[in-house]
Amino acid sequence: MKTTKTKKTIKSHRTHDEATIESFHRDPQFAAAYINAILKDGDHRELMIGLRYATKAFGGVSSVAEKTSLNGTTLYRTLSANGNPRLKNFAEVLKAMGMRLAVESLVT
C-alpha cells in the first residue's frame, strides 16, 4: 500500500469480495445469474454469501431493509452464514434488489 503526505492509506488492490460487490452494482444481470448458479448447486452457505454481496451492491442492509418488511437486525441475522431466511423474506429481499424467485423444470 502507498501512503500520501497526509498519511492516508491508498489501497493498491481490491479483495475478491469488493470486486464481486462492484460487479453486482455495475451489472444487476450478473448478480441475478450468480445467485441462480448458487441456487442450482444448492449450497446454503454460498447462497447467504451471495445474498450479502448483492445486498451490499444494492445499497446495503439498511437500504434493502427499508424496501422490505424486515428490520435491519433481522436482515443482518438472515444474511449471516448461519441464516435461514423464510421463503417470504427471501422473496422480499430479492424484490428489493430488483430480482425475483422463479421455478424451472428439471425434466427436459
Query: Residue 104 has what pLDDT?
Result: 81
In a domain, 61, yes or no: yes
Which residue bears the cell 455495475? 26
Query: Residue 102 has what pLDDT?
Result: 86
Q: Which domain holds residue 24?
A: 16-96
Query: Residue 81 has what pLDDT?
Result: 81
In a domain, 6, yes or no: no
pTM equals 0.78
Query: Residue 4 has what pLDDT?
Result: 58
d(CA 61, CA 65): 6
In a domain, 8, yes or no: no
Total domains in the chain come to 1
Residue 76 gets which letter from DSSP? H
Low-confidence stretches of the chain (pLDDT < 70) are 1-11
Query: Residue 7 has what pLDDT?
Result: 66
Tens of pLDDT along 65-84? 999 888 889 898 888 888 88
In a domain, 3, yes or no: no
